Amino acid sequence: MPDTFLWGSASAAYQIEGAAQEAGKGISNWDEFVKIPGKTFKESTGEVAVDHYHRYKEDVALMAEMGLQTYRFSIAWARIFPKGHGEVNLEGVQFYTELIDECLKYGIEPMVTLYHWDIPQALVEEYGGWESPKVVEDFVHYATFLFNQFKGKVKYWITINEQNIFTTFGWLTAMHPPGKFDDEKMYYQVNHHVFLAHAKSVLAFKEIMPEGKIGASFAYSPSYALNSDPIHAMAKMDFDNLKNFWWMDVYAYGRYPKNAYHYLEQKGVAPIVTEADQTILKQAAALIDFMGVNYYQTSVAEYNPIDGVGPYGEMNTTGKKGTGQVTGIPGLYKNPTNTHLKTTDWDWVIDPSGLRYACKEITSRYDLPIVISENGLGAFDTLTDTQEIHDAYRIEYLSKHIEELMKASEEGCEIWAYCTWSFTDLLSWLNGYQKRYGFVYVDRDEVGGSLNRYKKDSYYWYKEVIETNGQS
Ligand code: BGP
C-alpha cells in the first residue's frame, strides 16, 4: 500500500469504555435501552464493557507494541455534554485528551468518530433526540466543541457511524433505541436530521480545520443480482437505491437518489427536504474528504413478488447458524443467502471480493478516497490453559480481505486506511460478549471476568502485516 497508508483498528465508546456512570458522564440512550429485558443477548450491557476507560493505557501500549498506525474510536457525547448541551464535563474532556495524547505519544494517528450510536438520554427526553430537528444544532455544537478542542492533534474525523444501521434498528426493527417498530415515516425524517447534522458539522469543521480530513462511515453491503434474469437486475437496482445509495449519494452528492425518493413519496414516507436543506447537503458533499466504509458482507438481490416476504424477520443474535430469516420489500426485492459463499456462525456471508467491489464502486461512482473504518470477523474464541488463542479463522478472514483491498488499490482506488473491527474484544450490541472480534482477547463474559488482556495469534500476524506493509 502507499507510504501514507494507515493500518489500523477500531472501537466505539459504549462497546469498550465501561465507566458508564462515572466521572460526570451523563446517561445515554444505550444505558437506558439495555435495562429493557430481552433487548440484548443475555441482558449484556456496556456498564463495565471491557473497562477501557480505566485500562486505556494498557490497551494503547498493546497497540503500540503491535505497531498500529491509526486507532479509530468514538467519543461518548454524554461524557462531554452530560445533558447533550449546556455545561461541559471537564473530566470527560480530560479522558479523551489523555487517550489522544497517549496515542500520539506512540505515533498512533487518532481517528475520532463523533457519533457511534450513544446520544445523551437527556436529549431524548427533552425533544425526542434524533426525531426532532432541534438535534441538529446540538450535534453541531458538540462537534464544534471537539473540533476546537482537538485541533492540531486529531486529523481524521468521522461524523456519523453507520447511519443506515442505527436508524434501521432504532425505528424499523425495534432492536436498538428508541425501540420503535415499523415507523417508516419517522425513520426517513430521522435520517434527514442525521444528514443535516453531518452536513453542518462538515461545514463547521472546514472553517476550523481546513487541513483536517472528514467523512461519514457507512455500512456498505454491495449487492449482486440473483442471476441474469432482468427481473433480478431491477431488484438489485431498487435495493441499491434504497439501501446503499440513499446514504452514500447524500454524503457524496448532497441529494437523494431520485427513483428511491419518488417511491417513498408515493408511499407517503419521504422526508421533508427544504431548499435550505438541499443547499447545505450539497455544500457539505463538496467538502467531504473521504467515504468511510464499514464492510462486513454483501447481499443478493432477488425479485420479491407483491405477496412475498416482508421487511421484518428473525436475526441471528445467538451464533447458532441458520437461525436468521430472509427479508425484503414486497414488490421490489428480497435478500436470500448467497449459496456460493460460506457464512459466519452469525449467518454473515464471508465475501472478501465484496470489499474490492465496494472500493471500486465508490471510486467510480463518487471519485472519493476511501477509509475502511471497519472490517472483521465475529467468532467464538477459546482461551487455552496456557492462555493462548488460536484464531487461524480470523487470520484467514482478514488476510483474504486485505488481498482484495490491495487489488482494489492496484486498480486505481485511493485507499487511505484500513481499520479492523476490533483491537480488543468488546461488547457486540446485540450479541453480547461471546461474539469476539479483537486481536486482544478480554477475559469476560455476560456476567464479568478478570478483564485481563491476552494476545491472540492474529495479534502477532497483524503486527507482521503492518511491518511488511501488507506483504506477509
Ligand atoms: C458495526 C458497528 C460496530 C460493531 C460491528 C460488528 O455495525 O459499527 O459497532 O458492532 O458492526 O457488529 P456486531 O457486533 O453486531 O457483530
Q: Mean pLDDT over all residues of the chain?
A: 97
- If one residue of 429, 436, 437 were mutated to test the ligand 1 pocket, choosing by the most ligand atoms within 8 A of its CB, it would be 429
Task: Ligand 1, residue 162: give the atom nearest the CA.
Answer: 8
The set of protein residues with a Cβ atom below 6 angstroms from ligand 1 is 12, 15, 161-162, 165, 219, 294, 374, 378, 421, 428-431, 435
Torsion (CA) 192, 10, 299, 391 in degrees, nearest 10: -160
The answer, yes or no, to whether the previous bond of 178 is cis (omega within 30 of 0) is yes
pLDDT for 341-365, tens place per residue?
Answer: 999 999 999 999 999 999 999 999 9
> What letter represents residue 94's amino acid?
Q
DSSP 300-322: EEEE--TTS--S------SS-TT
pLDDT for 369-405, tens place per residue?
Answer: 999 999 999 999 999 999 999 999 999 999 999 999 9
Give yes or no for a contact between 362 and 248, defined as CB atoms under 8 angstroms apart.
yes
Beta bridge partners of 442: 453
- Atom 2, ligand 1: which residue's CA is nearest? 162
126 in active site: no
Whole-number Å distance, alpha carbon 419 to ligand 1 midpoint, is: 13
Whole-number Å distance, alpha carbon 428 to ligand 1 midpoint, is: 6
Q: Is the pLDDT of residue 472 over 80?
A: no
Q: Which of 162, 302, 374, 404 is catalytic?
A: 374
pLDDT level of residue 221 (50, 70, 90 thresholds) = very high
- 147 phi-psi bin (left φ>0, alpha ψ -120 to 50, beta other): alpha
CA distances from 56 to 92, 167, 236, 438, 444 (A): 14, 30, 44, 15, 17
**Residue showing cell 447534522:** 197
pLDDT for 278-326, tens place per residue?
Answer: 999 999 999 999 999 999 999 999 999 999 999 999 999 999 999 999 9
Give yes or no for a contact between 430 and 38, defined as CB atoms under 8 angstroms apart.
no
How confident is the model at residue 258, as a pLDDT? Answer: 97
Q: Which of 190, 197, 134 is nearest to 160 (CA)?
A: 197
HEC sequence for 100-155: HHHHHHCCCEEEEEEECCCCEHHHHHHHCHHHCCHHHHHHHHHHHHHHHHHCCCCC
- Atom 9, ligand 1: which residue's CA is nearest? 12
pLDDT for 78-114, tens place per residue?
Answer: 999 999 999 999 999 999 999 999 999 999 999 999 9
pLDDT for 28-37, tens place per residue?
Answer: 999 999 999 9
> What letter represents residue 324's amino acid?
G
How confident is the model at residue 217, as a pLDDT? Answer: 98
Q: What percent of the chain has pLDDT over 70?
A: 100
Q: How many helices (H) and strands (E) does the chain have?
A: 16, 14
CATH superfamily of this structure's domain 6-467: Glycosidases (3.20.20.80)
Alpha-carbon span 359 to 373, nearest angstrom: 12
pLDDT for 197-209, tens place per residue?
Answer: 999 999 999 999 9
Task: Ligand 1, residue 346: give the atom nearest the CA.
Answer: 16
- Atom 4, ligand 1: which residue's CA is nearest? 428
Alpha-carbon span 228 to 37, nearest angstrom: 46
C-alpha cell at 143: 462537534
Q: Which of 150, 60, 159 is nearest to 107 (CA)?
A: 60
Strands (E), 336-466: 370-374, 415-421, 440-442, 453-455
pTM as predicted: 0.98
Helix residue ranges per DSSP H, 130-271:
134-150, 163-171, 184-208, 230-239, 246-253, 258-267
- If one residue of 14, 374, 425 were mutated to test the ligand 1 pocket, choosing by the most ligand atoms within 8 A of its CB, it would be 374
- Atom 6, ligand 1: which residue's CA is nearest? 428
Whole-number Å distance, alpha carbon 279 to ligand 1 midpoint, is: 32
Task: Ligand 1, residue 219: give the atom nearest the CA.
Answer: 7
Instruction: Say whether 327 sits in a helix, a strand or coil.
Output: coil
How confident is the model at residue 471, as a pLDDT? Answer: 85
